[in-house]
Amino acid sequence: MRGLNTLTRWLLAGEWRAHPMRAFLAVVAIAVGVAMGFAIHLINAAAFNEFSAAVKSIAGQADLQVTGSESSFDEKLYPSLAQRPGVAAASPVLQVQAVVPGAAQSLLVLGVDTLRAIDVSPDLVGVPREGHLEDTLADDTIFLSPAASEWLRTRTSGTLTLRAGLEELRLRVAGSVQGTRPGQRLGIMDIGAAQWRFHGLGQLTRIDLKLSPGVNRTVFRDQLQRDLDRASPGAFHVAEPNDPNAESRTNTMSRAYRVNLTVLALVALFTGAFLVFSTQALSVVRRRSQFALLRVLGLEPLQLVRQVVVEGAVLGLAGAALGIAGGYGLAALVLRFFGGDLGGGYFPGVRPEVQFDVAGAIIYFVLGFGVALLGCLAPAFEAARAAPAVALKSGSTDAALEKLARAWPALACLGLGAALTAAPPVAGLPIFGYLAIALMLIGGIALMPRFAAVTFKALQRVGAPFAHAHMPPALALVLARLANASGQAAIALGGVLSSFALMVAMAIMVASFRVSVDDWLAQVLPADLYARSAASGNTAAIDPEGQRAIAATPGVARVHFLRIRPIQLDPARPPVALLARSVDPQAPGHSMPMVGKTIEVPPGAMPAWVSEAMVDLYGARVGEHIELPVGGKLHAFTVAGVWRDYARQSGAVNINLDDYRRLSGDMDVSDAAIWVARGATAAQVRARIAQLPFGRALEFSEPGEIRAVSLAIFDRSFAVTYLLEAIAIAIGMSGVAATFSAQTLARAKEFGMLRHVGVTRGQVLALLAIEGSALTAIGIVCGFALGFVISLVLVFVVNPQSFHWTMQLHMPWRLLVAVAAALLAASAVTALVSGRYALSGGPIRAVREDW
């Protein structure tokens, strides 16, 4: 055994000394895939955990929380809960996202009853300056967490300006909130002051309950929920602060986004696995005679298998270890400089720090190590199965790759992949869609040997009548070799196919999404000018007087107003956006990009138009009824149509503004779409509205500005996608270079023989350049076909199942042509460089093994 270990180390060291760059590329490919996947895992885990912890910290020590299906509810519920048997203390809370003038994000402000909150959530009580205890109950004070003070650059006794309606609200910073988590931006006010200042008199967001000792929390919760449902069906939800539904809502918001990013990272890992396969396969083919000699000298087949597997395993161990270390470092850098959103915007207001996840590290380490082992198993068994007598003969290398030409496994993978595209999502994720893509990739790569053989033999037959008279000798030799040695060609083709197919699929998907978003914006932005009370937060609104003033402004032809409110239809899911605006039931397409048929609701029924996500998540079908909480009660609406909404993946419902106002009594609006009268310009109308008493509180945008900002946000959200796509392309091109280099060097004897019979050095180099270009061209054609099919799965299966919206197919021809040209150039240059090295030894030394 000791001698065998020495032999293993000797063969491994010799191989790496002879071809260090090939081993280095394989290790880097695995390391990049593992690092990207592990980094995304750590970033999302840190952001999710910190966000969940911040949400729980707001609840303090409450046993139960009562919340409404709408953003607020009448405070009349509070006395009955405070006096309910079994309740030791009840703390009313008004929670608002206060608009900060000039800031892109809002500030979370909690209005609390200090005397009640001390018993339920003592950490969320403001700490006033010494000698100023009265500031706790003052109507013009606010207490800020350290992170909020740092963000807003305010100090104790300073002034903070917030937005309430269309007015600016100035508050004194009277102290700090010490019980918050690092990075948590939070403000605390007296509940009465918060209700008054933010125009929410008589309104609460939730009621925190602390139960008496000995009370069974579960029994109490269930009974309270039943009592509330009897009094106001669907209006209230009772849950524990650590309720799994709360974490499920947070998890669901970002799950599809992070899963798609993780799959993209695994694409790089898959490409690395193929690079290991090509490296080991060509290494085994090149050393076929060496292994045969070892067999003759007494090395057992299983020992030979172990030798090849050990070589791949060492590559996997090195790559996986480097990937884990690199992933941790990358996650730390991203969290430090960019935050935990990864461009998705799912975790605002937190500052997470990376924590090393042992379980996640083990999983990704095993993935990296496993793909390296899988990549070397087939070459290992081929080396063991080869008959020593045959393998010792020169020219037997192509026989080692004959089994790659079997077509039935490839066709089976392609067929199974096509069948899986019809499968439904699993737990809201397109698991079968991802499996279909993996099977299509494997099937496409496995089909390359047969396709290469058929293609090049057909080209040889077509060119045979012209071979002697018209065809250049180099081209004739290329066709002859590729037609009769398709196995080695297939390995190079597989590298081109995998990298180019994945690039094509991702490029088409991202381009389709981007173009669809651009077209969607053009449909949802028909007006000439848009005004809104605030970009974020829920404390700013345009009151009826402001609406009338905007409509009466000179140069305004007509105005459509919009009110957006969150509603909770399912406690386990994120809130749904309720949009109230004027919609023509006869032509809803003028207000929304409709998908499919629309209907006219019966007389007396209230119409609602739901987004595609509502169909998937809540089963809202055209013609059926849906109950929505408006004005503290559930009201039945008839689904009149489905529209496409790229802004809210958790669902949105459009109802008529008149219906909303009649049911809720809320006359405020959030946005105004303004059409300019003939003879006026958007700039003129914008200036006139800005001169109104409340004009400075409005934010104005023209359709072009909104589209530019939205597409910039889109590009930022997909920045990680672009990076992962570029990495996969780089790894694929490295694999192509390594494969061509290995094949060229392995054919040194062939080139020596050609030189021996009179073929010049320039003709051999031309032969290599033509061969490399021909192989790459076929790989590009097949890669485009396979990538196009995979893009259809991404666009029409994975994307709708992940985000619950559809899109149109768009082809980014410029990008595809540019990458194809780069691959062609890279393959030709690599073939030439490798050929010059292979020809540097002279023809006699190259063929001396046959003497």
The pLDDT score that the predictor gives to residue 805 is: 86
Please state which of the ranges 118-122, 194-198, 688-692 shows the lowest mean pLDDT.
Answer: 118-122
Q: Is the pLDDT of residue 66 over 90?
A: yes
Residues pairing with 194 in the sheet: none
Q: Are residues 105 and 179 in the same domain?
A: yes
Q: Are residues 70 and 56 in the same domain?
A: no
Residue 392's pLDDT band, with cuts at 50, 70 and 90, is low
Do the domain assignments include residue 227? yes
Count of the separate structural domains present in the chain: 3
Q: Are residues 380 and 351 in the same domain?
A: yes
Counting Cα atoms < 13 Å in the Cβ hemisphere of 510 gives 26
Distance CA 203, CA 495 (A): 63
Torsion angles phi and psi, residue 492, rounded to 5: -65, -40
The pLDDT score that the predictor gives to residue 313 is: 80
More confident residue, 170 or 462: 170
Q: Is the pLDDT of residue 465 over 80?
A: no
More confident residue, 748 or 246: 748
Residue found by looking up tokens 């270079």 in the block? 737
Q: Which of 182, 215, 240 is the last residue of a domain?
A: 240
Residue 190's pLDDT band, with cuts at 50, 70 and 90, is very high
Q: Which amino acid is at 113?
A: D
Find the mean pLDDT for residues 459-486. 64
Cα distances (angstroms) measured from residue 33 to each of 266, 731, 734: 6, 10, 14
- What's the 3-state SS for 52-85? HHHHHHHHCCCCEEEEECECCEECCHHHHHHCCC
Please state which of the ranges 174-178, 604-608, 719-723 shows the lowest mean pLDDT.
Answer: 719-723
The pLDDT score that the predictor gives to residue 851 is: 37
Q: Are residues 319 and 198 in the same domain?
A: no
The pLDDT score that the predictor gives to residue 350 is: 58
The pLDDT score that the predictor gives to residue 448 is: 78
Q: Is the pLDDT of residue 676 over 90?
A: yes
C-alpha 52, offset from chain centre: 20
Distance CA 773, CA 485 (A): 16
Q: Are residues 141 and 271 in the same domain?
A: no
Cα distances (angstroms) measured from residue 31 to each of 266, 321, 372, 441, 532: 11, 7, 11, 21, 48
C-alpha 155, offset from chain centre: 39
Do the domain assignments include residue 647? yes
Q: Are residues 43 and 70 in the same domain?
A: no
Q: Is the pLDDT of residue 204 over 50?
A: yes
Out of 26-35, 345-354, 390-399, 646-655, the most confident range is 646-655
Residue 713's pLDDT band, with cuts at 50, 70 and 90, is confident
Torsion angles phi and psi, residue 93, rounded to 5: -135, 135
Helix (H) or strand (E) holding 700: strand 699-701
The pLDDT score that the predictor gives to residue 116 is: 87
Find the mean pLDDT for residues 733-737. 62
Interacting residues of 628 by C-beta distance below 8 A, sequence separation 6+: 567, 569, 578, 608, 634, 635, 637, 653, 655
Provide the sign of the torsion angle of the four alpha carbons 335, 341, 343, 348, taken in this order: negative
For residues 534 and 99, the answer to whether their CB atoms sit within 8 Å is yes
Find the mean pLDDT for residues 602-623. 92
Tokens representing residue 748 in the block: 């040194």
Interacting residues of 375 by C-beta distance below 8 A, sequence separation 6+: 273, 274, 275, 276, 277, 279, 280, 312
The pLDDT score that the predictor gives to residue 730 is: 67
The pLDDT score that the predictor gives to residue 340 is: 58
Q: Which of 393, 419, 436 is the last residue of a domain?
A: 393
Out of 203-207, 317-321, 745-749, 769-773, the most confident range is 203-207
Residue 245: which of 513, 574, 14, 595 has the closest Cα? 574
Do the domain assignments include residue 803? no
Q: Is the pLDDT of residue 441 over 80?
A: yes
Do the domain assignments include residue 108? yes
Q: Are residues 260 and 220 in the same domain?
A: no
Q: Is the pLDDT of residue 68 over 50?
A: yes
- Residue 106 belongs to domain spanning: 62-240
The pLDDT score that the predictor gives to residue 4 is: 47
More confident residue, 178 or 10: 178
Q: Are residues 641 and 580 in the same domain?
A: yes
Please state which of the ranges 166-170, 365-369, 834-838 shows the lowest mean pLDDT.
Answer: 834-838
The pLDDT score that the predictor gives to residue 400 is: 46
Do the domain assignments include residue 573? yes
The pLDDT score that the predictor gives to residue 463 is: 61
Q: Is the pLDDT of residue 339 over 60?
A: yes
Q: Are residues 218 and 258 in the same domain?
A: no
% residues pLDDT > 70 (the chain): 73
Counting Cα atoms < 13 Å in the Cβ hemisphere of 168 gives 13
Distance CA 45, CA 38 (A): 10
Residue 502's pLDDT band, with cuts at 50, 70 and 90, is confident
Q: Is the pLDDT of residue 591 over 70?
A: yes
Q: Helices 358-385 and 244-286 meet at what angle, rounded to 10? A: 30
Q: Which of 701, 721, 745 is the last residue of a domain?
A: 701
The pLDDT score that the predictor gives to residue 359 is: 86
Do the domain assignments include residue 297? yes
For residues 26 and 319, the answer to whether their CB atoms sit within 8 Å is yes
Q: Is the pLDDT of residue 688 over 90?
A: yes
149-175 tens-digit pLDDT: 888 888 777 889 999 888 889 999 998
Q: Are residues 257 and 366 in the same domain?
A: yes
257-292 tens-digit pLDDT: 666 667 766 666 676 666 666 666 666 666 666 677
For residues 166 and 697, the answer to whether their CB atoms sit within 8 Å is yes
Q: Is the pLDDT of residue 314 over 80?
A: yes
523-555 tens-digit pLDDT: 888 999 999 988 777 888 899 999 999 999 999
Q: Are residues 564 and 590 in the same domain?
A: yes
Distance CA 377, CA 489 (A): 20
The pLDDT score that the predictor gives to residue 3 is: 43
How many helices and strands (H and E) does the chain possess? 28, 22
Do the domain assignments include residue 692? yes
For residues 434 and 461, the answer to whether their CB atoms sit within 8 Å is no
The pLDDT score that the predictor gives to residue 27 is: 80
More confident residue, 495 or 415: 415
More confident residue, 806 or 32: 806
Find the mean pLDDT for residues 662-686. 93
Distance CA 801, CA 798 (A): 5
More confident residue, 843 or 478: 478
Do the domain assignments include residue 746? no
The 10 Å CB-count burial string (b at 16+, else e) for 30-67 is bbbbbbbbbbbbbbbbbbbbbbbebbebbbbebbbbbb
Q: Is the pLDDT of residue 478 over 50?
A: yes
The pLDDT score that the predictor gives to residue 792 is: 94
Find the mean pLDDT for residues 822-846. 65
Q: Is the pLDDT of residue 740 over 50?
A: yes
The pLDDT score that the predictor gives to residue 2 is: 45
Residue found by looking up tokens 């083919």 in the block? 285
Q: Are residues 24 and 117 in the same domain?
A: no
Q: Is the pLDDT of residue 624 over 50?
A: yes
Q: Is the pLDDT of residue 248 over 60?
A: no
Q: Which amino acid is at 623?
A: G
Q: Is the pLDDT of residue 10 over 80?
A: no
